[in-house]
Amino acid sequence: MITRKTKVVGIGALVFLVTTSIVLFAMWRYVETKGAELLDHSKEIADHQARQQTYSDLEELVNSTKDARDELSTYVLTEDKTIDFLATVEQVAIEQGIVMTTNSLEVVEQEGLFNTLVISFSVEGATERVDTMVHIFETLPYHAFVSDILFSYDQKPVNPTTEGTIELTVSLLQYDR
Which positions lie near other proteins, rule CB under 8 A? 24, 27-28, 30-31, 34-35, 37-38, 41-42, 44-45, 47-49, 51-52, 55, 58-59, 62, 65, 69, 72-73, 75-76, 112-114, 127, 131, 134-135, 138, 143, 145-153, 155, 164, 169, 171, 173, 175
Q: Which is nearer to other proteins, 83 or 150 (CB)?
A: 150
Task: Give min distance, CB of 147 to other proteins, in A.
Answer: 5
Nearest-Å Rg of the Cα atoms of the chain is 36
| 172 CB-near residues (< 8 Å, 6+ apart) | 76, 77, 78, 79, 82, 107, 114, 115, 116, 117
Q: Which is nearer to other proteins, 3 or 63 (CB)?
A: 63
Measured CA to CA, the distance from residue 161 to residue 163 in angstroms comes to 7
Q: Which is nearer to other proteins, 3 or 49 (CB)?
A: 49
| 46 CB-near residues (< 8 Å, 6+ apart) | none
Task: Give min distance, CB of 11 to other proteins, in A.
Answer: 27
Q: Which is nearer to other proteins, 67 or 83 (CB)?
A: 67
Amino acid found at 18: V
Q: Which is nearer to other proteins, 16 or 75 (CB)?
A: 75
Instruction: For residue 102, give the nearest of 113, 111, 93, 114 by alpha carbon.
Output: 93
Number of Cβ within 10 Å of residue 125's Cβ equals 20
Task: Give min distance, CB of 8 to other proteins, in A.
Answer: 30
